[in-house]
């Protein structure tokens, strides 16, 4: 359980618990990106609508899609590795799983494109939470059919997603350091996942 706590320094975590500790770091990095993206959208919508350009809103939408997906996906990965009672280590599959996952993600993308095209529309503040909920749900459903033995590779992919959400945040906030650090994180996570595969 000690390895499951985020506040514990990595040097105090047993080597066998480092993957789930890393997954938790990614989870909270993704959550931070998602929350920043959400706050920026509503701040701009209510106080600075001139900032809601197609580019900025597109970056915000990418940020929340990847950020919230990383959050729940990484929590699931950490739970599977930690053998939390309510998260089974074995793959959980059901009929039509791929269709349901694809449908959820497609709906989230359609809403994201709609908000990106008309960010100042009166319905946009209501579509944004729907994108968030769909992203959170998709993160769970994306990871649940993968067995615990494959979680280190999954964590590497989620690392890439967290990096890409940081890149999107950097574009939305016009912060070159975030773009650079996120791109390094995203590319290294992808390379690591490919090597592990």
What is the reported pTM?
Answer: 0.87
Position 73 pLDDT exceeds 90: yes
Q: Dump pLDDT digits (tens) for 25-38.
A: 889 999 999 999 99
Question: According to the model, what pLDDT value does residue 2 have?
Answer: 35
Burial 23-58 (b: 16+ CB within 10 A, else e): bbbbbebbbbbbbbbbebbeebbeeeeebbeeebbb
């Amino acid at each position: 359980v000690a390895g499951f706590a985020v506040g514990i320094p990595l040097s105090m975590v047993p080597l066998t618990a480092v993957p789930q500790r890393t997954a938790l770091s990614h989870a909270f990095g993704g959550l931070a990106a998602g929350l920043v993206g959400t706050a920026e959208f509503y701040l701009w919508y209510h106080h600075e609508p001139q900032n809601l350009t197609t580019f900025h809103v597109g970056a915000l939408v990418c940020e929340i899609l990847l950020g919230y997906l990383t959050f729940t996906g990484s929590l699931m990965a950490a739970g599977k590795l930690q053998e939390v009672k309510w998260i089974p280590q074995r793959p959980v599959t059901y009929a039509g799983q791929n269709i349901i996952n694809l449908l959820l993600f497609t709906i989230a993308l359609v809403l994201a494109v709609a908000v990106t095209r008309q960010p100042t529309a009166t319905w946009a503040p209501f579509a944004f939470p729907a994108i968030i909920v769909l992203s959170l749900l998709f993160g769970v459903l994306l990871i649940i059919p993968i067995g615990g033995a494959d979680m280190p590779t999954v964590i590497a992919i989620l690392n890439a997603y967290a990096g890409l959400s940081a890149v999107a945040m950097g574009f939305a906030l016009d912060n070159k350091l975030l773009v650079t650090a996120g791109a390094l994180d995203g590319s290294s996570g992808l390379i690591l996942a490919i090597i592990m595969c």
